[in-house]
Chains A and B, each alone.
Chain A
Amino acid sequence: MSYQGKKNIPKITSDRLLIKGGRIVNDDQSFHADIYMEDGLIKQIGDNLIVPGGVKIIEANGKMVIPGGIDIHTHFQMPYRGTTTVDDFGQGSKAALAGGTTMFVDHVVPEPGSSLLEAFEHWREWAEEKACCDYSLHVDITHWNDSVKQEVESLIKEKGVNSFQVYLAYKDLYQMSNSELYEIFTFLGEQGAIAQVHAENGEIIAQEQARMLEMGITGPEGHVLSRPEELEAEAVFRAITIASQTNCPLYVTRVMSKSAADIISQARKKGNVVFGEPITASLGTDGTHYWSKNWAKAASFVTSPPLSPDPTTPDYLNTLLASGDLNVTGSAHCTFSVAQKAIGKDDFTQIPEGVNGVEERMSLIWDKAVVTGKMDENMFVAVTSTNAAKILNLYPRKGRIAVGSDSDLVIWDPDSVRTVTAKTHHSAAEYNVFEGLELRGAPMLVICQGKIVFEDGNLHATSGTGRFIPCSPFPDFAYKRVKARKQLALLRAVPRGMYDGPVAEFSPMSRGGTPSASARTSPTKTAPVRNLHQSGFSLAGPEEAPIRPGGRRIVVPPGGRSNITSLS
């Protein structure tokens, strides 16, 4: 492969396409029109288009033409303790295409202590080599200090990353303290990035895990028993509180339970800028399988937060997705083989976490939400593609069929029925968590970058054709509101005269030993860290600083008398 099949090298025949007689479904409306594509872009939309000769014509026959799906959460080729997930970028993106998804956003998970930038470059390299469709990257912040801060800034400004995930779980590994979260959220809010959270209370989990193991529960059921959904809800609640304090948009990855989803919808009702992402697994199956007698099967469902053992959960989440309380769907596709899962055969805490779902995502939502009448086709497009594009600030390049958009689109067949099984899926995993599920609705034809990559069940994808799509900060979808609030949220001191009454004697150091007075105001971190950013200390954002006379104090007014300490 001399030139790695990059798109800027034109290929014959496939770069000019005309889809005739389709019904275009965007998130806002559906209409009948033809689409003409050239050089990977949509050039014309309308009836009776005038197109050059020699164009390949696809007859849609009134079928739906939808923007290609965007899977906002994948873990392809993720390193884990010396091994990697079985689906690498090639395998994973092929599975994605087969399911009607034409773009994925993978998580860069740097080892704590290592450089975010380096990790990002590693991931880019791997993806560049193998990805068959466009992709973008989230970066996980696995530790926090000043140099990480600078790296985050350069990732936002130079590398095209606008979303960063932090963890409230994985104690002693990825977990962040509340103060760190506060600092990260403040920083991301200033930089215009989206804060994503893995929301589970890691401290309690660690306690519960120890308790389970002590009780002799070592199988996969221990996983769900030690991570009850309450802990997810608690962490979601906490993350929302911190985000609202710091005025930073929040994105909750992997909404797995009803209670967590409820917290999100409540917060949205109160006006918080928060987005929830249920994943294929939580929308399609439940956690009863953890009690399966088949260890390998039970282990294949292990993911965090775990699937809820409540069998009504998928239905509930689909309903919230339809009502707009949850916004986007990911797959959190992170597949390990049975042998890899078996690392934790004697101790559930060692089982590598992750389920499949990138291929099934679109069909599953169609089957569970649209076919059942919960959701219309436009909402379907919104939750599978458009909202994700908006959050990533890629809209309308992605997530919409419009002139000038990338020609990533799918001809969707709402009537096709297939049964999910590990024997026929495109992932390399031996187990499919949706095994045996019958799904209505499937892509008939998938066009990615203006090329037909999937047609009638046959994949024509080429590894290495995927492009990295840089995301710019301050996506309107989240930040318009945040910006307006920043301007409103000015805090002012009350101008008072000086207190001139008696002051009680007090010893500056309390007897209790430890710091006390000074500790109360000490900002968690070591002093040097804070000082670097002291200038940016303003709820109203840095640009407001000169306007506001910070903490002005009116000394004795011209009249003279200080009347503020009279005790009446």
Chain B
Amino acid sequence: MSDCRRQWNREDELPVYLARPVTTGPNQRQKSYGMFSSVEGAFDSKTIDFDSYAVGRKGSRTPRSGSRERILDREYFCQTANEAGDNRGGSIISSQGDQDNGRPRAGILQPPGTDNHTSQGEGALQLLRGTRNTSEQLLIRGGRVINDDQSVYADVSVENGVIKQVGENLTVPEGVRVIEANGRMVIPGGIDVNTCFQKPYLSTVPVDDFFQGTKAAVAGGTTMIIDHVTPQPGDSLLEAFERWQEVADKRVCCDYSLHVDIPQWHNGVKEELELLVQEKGVNSFQVHMAYKDLLQMTDSQLYEAFLALKEMGAVVLVHAENGDLVAQEQSKILGMGITGPEGHPLSRPEELESEAVFRAITLGNRVNCPIYITKVMSKSAADIVTQARRKGSVVFGEPITASLVTDGSHYWSKNWAKAAAYVTSPPLSPDPTTPDYLHSLLACGDLQVVGSAHCAYSTSQKAIGKDNFTLIPEGTNGVEERMGFVWDKAVAMGKMDENQFVAVTSTNAAKIFNLYPRKGRIAVGSDADIVIWDPDKIKTITAKMQQSAVEYNIFEGMECRGGPVLVLSQGRIVYEEGKLHVQPGTGRFIPRKPFPDSIYQRIKIRDKMMGKQGVSRGIYDGPVYDVPATPKYITPAPSAKTSPTSHQPPPIRNLHQSNFSLSGAQIDDNVPRRSGHRIVAPPGGRSNITSLG
């Protein structure tokens, strides 16, 4: 609670290690709290030169240490050029140095010396022949193929959107386009498991729709997204799903799949869920423990929902926050006159997140249902997930780009629009050590998947809550920055290796949501969603140059090392050297089957093991205290015991006088029971089970 009082905006009073950088402008470097926390401008020397560590490196290449480029600039211009109709497809891109020099440079500050750092290694992608989008065949030659289990040097040939061959010295027919990877990393395209490109909020929809959003995804090296279908309470899930699918089919430019949120739990929902699972290819559903009176479910409903979903073989996604307490805190904070975005984290302290995570896991354990926690935002919630995994629970945790990169101190920004841009639920933790901590857990496997929870609202949409923080639409950006920042914060820091990087950004997601090995792996037969990754690419995040349409990028000014150079989606080049070649509607809906092996194998075995048996005893034949129909003592009372709510005016309570039970009505329904009957001495005579010995 004391955390809440911190006034992060008063920079001068903060200790050095917490202060914001004093410089402003697009090139400002975000202070890193990582283990290699660096001095401004000292990044050249700490750049890890992976080539010098690579074992069995193929071919000799010029070292690229010291190279540093602002590829981003080019990205921006290429994009503008592209959109202006200047079709540069098929043009041979020569070395980046040439491009850099030949390009106009408007308004963007470049650090001195950038131009000098051009190298052949950096601009290694050379298109030898062929034109884009026409050829259904492709060969990536000389790359280092990185899967979650191993890295090998191999060529990858692609045909009709599927990987045909992986191996050394592959030959392809004449005319097939060959991409020289020159020893770069070739990784499976990222899978972003948590996006909301179409989530309506008070009749407005996010500014990043499916096209804008997937464009951003592709530019960040993500080739598949799983979006949330968010029906309103009372809506039909099926209809909502179809609506989403319809919109997405027209707009997406990479493959996608859909989660369905369950706004309310009732029996009708169950049938719809069955349909969705059996026929529509949805195997994951989100339930909410927050948003009281709107989406929130009670523990009993969660229990039933978990039970039903488990039987269908679905993955249960949980938005974990204690909604009751959030509602209380919100009214308290508003009552104190705090209406700005800082009220958001104040009313949703991380304790409430960890409490809900704990409860969700407890429920999951009882039902033997796998639990997937979306948006792990705080250390304490991550700890709970970790502890539960230690105890053997089948639990998965998904930190998001925002929680992995930035913290909640920005809620106290004097700039309302900036502070509001960070509003998401659960909120970013004000504890600045959180991102680092979550990365460590991600690296050691305690957290498994990285999502982005990309749900971008413009400032004017956020301003719906300008006088009341509870009305600010929730959501941050992150789909574009996701892969880059995991690389920058975890791999470049030495916390994680490249294989684990592939696992958390792609493979684990594919396994959990039953897309593996079609997605999430570079193997023969897998979809040709491939990224050529440049670990040294350095980019400064700024809203001016992003694909997303939001005015505020919450990672504004941060430098990110590592990024895609080339992205293949369905075997087509969709992003190349900072240029997007995408068309809306090219993405496919990928149906997912229930019972993903990676989580349900354990569940199935546990189900068999967990059978319970009663103790076989003789019938109790001793004396039984006779329970009177109406107890004698004190006021009316007894009927109140079964009254559905604990505070009800007496007249209503009397209506229920008949079903008197200590443990609620549902038990009486199940087991017809004679109440308080007394067995007199049995015919046989001796009672053997009540002896007091």
Contacts and interface: CB of A to CB of B under 8 A. Distances in A.
A83 B340 contact: no
A110 B647 CA distance: 13
A508 B204 CA distance: 11
Interface string A202-225: 011011111011111111011001
Contacts, number: 385
Main secondary structure of the interface of A (DSSP, over half): loop
B337 A217 contact: no
Contacts of B647: 113, 143-145
Given A343-B676, A515-B294, A523-B327, A245 B352 contact: yes
Nearest to B628: A82
Given A491-B338, A520-B470, A524-B327, A113 B689 contact: no
A521 B468 contact: yes
Chain B interface, DSSP helix/strand/loop, else mixed: loop
Contact of A496 (B340, B463, B644): B340
B464 A565 contact: no
A384 B558 CA distance: 58
A211 B2 CA distance: 43
B293 A489 contact: no
Contacts of B635: 111, 113-115, 118
A145 B649 CA distance: 10
A143 to B, nearest CB: 5
Indicate the member of B412, B464, B551, B617 with the most A CB atoms within 10 Å.
Answer: B617
Contacts of A291: 615
A561 interface: no
A551 B336 contact: yes
A455 interface: no
Given A296-B620, A521-B327, A502 B460 contact: yes
A514 B663 contact: no
B621 to A, nearest CB: 9
Nearest to B468: A521
Contacts of B470: 520-521
A422 B335 contact: no
A504 interface: yes
Given A234-B362, A510-B202, A346 B673 contact: yes
A182 interface: yes
Contacts of B612: 212, 215, 217, 225
B477 to A, nearest CB: 14
Nearest to B629: A82
Contact of B689 (A210, A233, A293, A340): A293
A465 interface: no
A564 B620 contact: no
Contacts of A296: 620, 622, 689-690, 692
Nearest to A171: B664
Contacts of A499: 416-417, 463, 466
Interface residues of A, number: 130
B343 interface: yes
Interface string B612-642: 1111011010111101101111111110111
Contacts of B263: 512
A175 interface: yes
Interface in B664-682: 664-667, 670-671, 673-674, 676
B118 interface: no
A501 B53 CA distance: 52
Nearest to B666: A210
Nearest to A84: B633
Interface string B355-367: 1001100110110
B622 A342 contact: yes
Interface stretch (B228-236, B505-513, B601-609): B228-236
Interface stretch (A445-453, A472-480, A534-542): A534-542
Given A511-B203, A564-B414, A492 B327 contact: no
B653 A113 contact: yes
Given A247-B1, A493-B343, A565 B667 contact: no
A116 B402 CA distance: 50
Contacts of A502: 459-460, 463
A519 B362 contact: no
A295 B620 contact: yes
A341 to B, nearest CB: 8
B325 A242 contact: yes
Interface in A144-182: 144-145, 170-180, 182
Contacts of A244: 1, 351
A506 interface: yes
B653 A172 contact: no
A522 B323 CA distance: 12
Contacts of A171: 300, 663-664
A550 interface: yes
A539 B336 contact: yes
A345 interface: yes
Residue from B327, B351, B615, B643 having most chain A Cβ neighbours under 10 A: B615
Give the interface centre of B233, B299, B346 by most chain A CB atoms within 10 Å. B299
B324 interface: yes
Given A207-B303, A342-B624, A172 B336 contact: no
Contacts of A342: 620, 622-625
B365 to A, nearest CB: 6
Interface in A417-457: 422, 430-431
A228 interface: yes
Given A339-B623, A565-B415, A216 B551 contact: no
Given A207-B303, A217-B612, A514-B293, A551 B337 contact: yes
A114 B637 contact: yes
A498 B467 CA distance: 9
B417 A521 contact: no
Contacts of B642: 172-173
B627 A550 contact: no
Given A179-B327, A521-B468, 20 more contacts: A81-B631, A111-B641, A112-B646, A113-B636, A114-B634, A179-B328, A206-B663, A206-B664, A216-B614, A219-B614, A242-B325, A245-B328, A347-B673, A489-B5, A506-B204, A507-B203, A515-B293, A516-B294, A517-B202, A565-B416
14 contacts: A145-B647, A173-B646, A210-B670, A217-B612, A221-B615, A230-B366, A244-B1, A293-B617, A295-B690, A492-B7, A492-B338, A506-B464, A512-B233, A567-B551
Q: List the 3 shortest-distance A-B pairs measured between CB atoms, nearest first.
A: A551-B337, A512-B232, A111-B637
Interface of A: 79, 81-84, 110-115, 118-119, 122, 142-145, 170-180, 182-183, 201, 203-204, 206-210, 212-219, 221-222, 225, 228, 230-231, 233-234, 237-238, 241-242, 244-245, 247, 291-296, 298, 337-340, 342-343, 345-347, 349-350, 422, 430-431, 485, 488-499, 501-508, 510-517, 519-524, 530, 534, 537-539, 550-552, 564-567
Interface of B: 1-2, 4-5, 7, 9, 200-204, 231-235, 263, 291-294, 298-300, 303-304, 322, 324-325, 327-340, 342-343, 346, 349, 351-352, 354-355, 358-359, 362-363, 365-366, 412-417, 419, 458-461, 463-464, 466, 468, 470-471, 543, 551-552, 612-615, 617-618, 620, 622-625, 627-628, 630-638, 640-644, 646-648, 650, 653, 661-667, 670-671, 673-674, 676, 689-692
